[in-house]
Chain A
């Protein structure tokens, strides 16, 4: 049993923390918020150069990491900095290409690691909410390729990606696990309409309308569900680690503010009512850290164990995130309500983590059902 980082991961963490603190200062963040991509190209290029994208892939796939604790180190730091660069999309999309792709398709990963190609994962649909098997988008075989028709909802970075991994149904009913397939689609493919917008989380997402879009099959036909679940588990681990970093950012802002802000002739941190709330927050953040460790440590376990931890961790993260956001704003008072102050972005991004890959209530029910079935 060991809870320290390896030397390599410690170096990655230190380097990443320094780089993000230097690169994503207030001015850079404001430029991102006013820009039309939702991220900083300078930060993205720098992250690629540092090898941060490579840390998301195994050595076999051309990277030098790819384990659960590589994800946790990278995404906790991105969270701590409030970074909006869409690295998280590479975890499911790049993971699925590496897992299912032909040699020719896998060649794409080199460009991804170099930072020259961005990826998106288009799976959720307007009516699917968080159910991974509910896919109405249809794929029709057309000689050697396929054409896709349907809609995809709230796909982060779809408007910025060069390639999009899209799920579609090659057979079965709308909620069947069987009959799901995955495809590689060029972002500029004919018949693909991308409506790009900014999100509460600070980055960009898009609604996708596919009308007979030409697509390349990724892996076998009709057997993608298990891999979609696997990729979503890894993405959930990354998102949970990012949420943890965002919680730490909230904690730091709030604890610092309690020491600075004076009312009734003393720093408000001297008031026991606020001390206790801060202590409660800290206890819950430690719970969140343990939950992230639990999930990252079980990503390679058997499917049932892994998925139990997916739901346990995501439920706890969502619950703690809500507490941390609400308490941080409340303890700040008025300043915590302003867009100008750093907390606003962090609080919005942390809250939005509950709206991806299943929220706290969704995973509570899922955990209970998995336990009952065991």
Chain B
């Protein structure tokens, strides 16, 4: 038992911090801190800065142009970048597709697609969920029929995050209706510019439109865009989920959100005193901070086991549940903290390049929207109820 980092790990942290000091544009960190919407160009700019340093793909091995970091290094990088309000790395190419191609893709696919992810030539999005296939993902219906050297794709995907920026989508499609639903699914890479692909934004409860519906009508996809074997896509999808679940606890995000909450509670006043001095409010903040302190250690326990080569199993389900609930509670307290100024719904002021004057303090504007937006945390990536099912099966053997 030793809660301290090694000298090498501390040196690595210092290196990351120095890099962020020097290279993270203040324009971007201000936007992140104030929760302004980032443009596609903002994301691409940050990816390019990281890629230049060789730090874009924290979870890729070196031979594919990744960092080769272990789980503790990735954790330190995550902590430092979130504390510095760096934009998050857009996960679809780096964290999701990359590892699947490395594990299951052909040599040609690896040679072609992986460098393009690093260089920002493609913006990937994820085609998993469908209107009738959410938690029960294997019931998906979007169909790909073989026709010579092509698959012909028909159907619909939904909740496609940042699909409006994407030129490529990796999809789970049905290639067979035989056997169990899981056995007829394939993993297909589809060009969004192909005829028959249509993207429609979905405006969410916070007024933003980060997710989309994607429609496929007789879209012809070359067979070389099939990853791995036909009808084995479910295996690849499950593999992807385990990679998606690295940093699932979101400790860095939670710490940043807690600091923001405390800053606001010092600036807001109640009975003429800073809100943070109101014992009831302070107790609510204390309770979530205490939970976060414990969760951060749970996360380190999993990270440290992963660094020693143990694959995280149902532990990541526990982190997902606790991590998301804590972040949502911090968001709820932040909404509470800003008081009546949670009410103005002037989302234009948060849009890129907006010169709309915000109403109330700058920190108040995104409070309610963030609260509503982050209700997604306990729904996506396998809803918290799905995680509980995993726990009861895997750990409790119920």
Contact = CB atoms under 8 A, between A and B. Distances in A.
Interface of A: 1-6, 9, 69, 255, 258-259, 269-270, 272, 274-276, 278-280, 282-283, 286-291, 293-294, 296-298, 312, 315-316, 364-365, 367-369, 371-372
Interface string B1-12: 111111001000
Interface string B190-214: 0000000000000000000000000
A298 B392 CA distance: 33
Given A291-B290, A291-B293, A368-B282, 18 more contacts: A1-B2, A1-B72, A269-B398, A272-B389, A278-B398, A279-B389, A283-B321, A288-B294, A290-B295, A290-B297, A290-B301, A291-B294, A293-B297, A294-B293, A316-B291, A364-B287, A365-B286, A368-B286
Nearest to B321: A283
Most buried by B among A4, A275, A279: A279
Contacts of A312: 289-290, 293-294
Contacts of B298: 286-287, 289-290
A9 B2 CA distance: 13
Interface string B305-316: 100000000010
B319 to A, nearest CB: 9
A294 B233 CA distance: 42
Given A6-B1, A290-B295, A316-B291, A275 B300 contact: no
Contacts of B322: 283, 286-287
Main secondary structure, interface of A, reads helix
A372 B304 contact: no
Query: Which 9 A-B pairs give the minimum distances between C-beta atoms?
Result: A290-B297, A275-B392, A279-B388, A368-B286, A269-B398, A297-B3, A368-B282, A279-B391, A290-B294
Contacts of B398: 255, 258-259, 269-270, 274-275, 278
A272 B391 CA distance: 12
A2 B308 CA distance: 10
Nearest to A311: B290
Contacts of A272: 389
Q: Which of B277, B322, B392 has the most CB of A within 10 A?
A: B392
Contacts of B388: 275-276, 279-280
B151 to A, nearest CB: 38
Contacts of B86: none
Nearest to B266: A372
Contacts of A365: 279, 283, 286
B203 to A, nearest CB: 32
Given A1-B2, A4-B1, A297-B3, A368 B391 contact: no
B119 to A, nearest CB: 34
Contacts of B289: 312, 367, 371
Q: Which of the listed residues A6, A255, A286, A315 has the most CB atoms from chain B within 10 Å of its own CB?
A: A286
Given A275-B389, A287-B294, A364-B286, A2 B301 contact: no
Given A255-B398, A364-B283, A1 B9 contact: yes
Interface in B309-333: 315, 318, 321-322
Contacts of A6: 1
Contacts of A294: 3, 293-294, 297
16 contacts: A6-B1, A274-B398, A275-B398, A278-B396, A279-B387, A282-B318, A283-B391, A288-B294, A289-B298, A294-B3, A312-B290, A315-B290, A364-B286, A368-B285, A371-B282, A371-B289
Contact of B396 (A255, A286, A289): A255
B111 interface: no
A3 B303 CA distance: 10
Contact of A1 (B4, B291, B321, B387): B4
Contacts of B276: 372
A20 B211 CA distance: 56
A279 B287 contact: no
Given A258-B398, A276-B385, A368-B279, A3 B391 contact: no
Contacts of B297: 290-291, 293-294
Contact of B301 (A3, A269, A288, A291): A3
B392 A3 contact: no
Most chain A Cβ neighbours within 10 Å, of B287, B290, B387, B397: B290
A290 B63 CA distance: 36
B218 to A, nearest CB: 41
A255 B1 CA distance: 28
Most A-side CB within 10 Å, residue of B1, B5, B276: B1
A312 B295 CA distance: 12
* Of B298, B301, B385, B396, most A-chain CB atoms within 10 Å: B396
A311 to B, nearest CB: 8
A328 to B, nearest CB: 13
A319 B4 CA distance: 27
A30 B293 CA distance: 39
A315 B6 CA distance: 30
A5 B298 CA distance: 16
Contact of B304 (A2, A288, A364): A2
Nearest to B280: A368
Contacts of A274: 398
Contacts of A371: 282, 285-286, 289
A289 B285 CA distance: 21
Interface string B154-168: 000000000000000
Interface string B257-295: 000000000000000000011010011011101110111
Contacts of A298: 3
Contacts of B315: 286
B277 A372 contact: yes
B396 A279 contact: yes
A291 B296 CA distance: 10
B326 to A, nearest CB: 10
B295 A372 contact: no
Given A255-B398, A368-B282, A316 B294 contact: yes
Contacts of B387: 279
Contacts of A5: 1
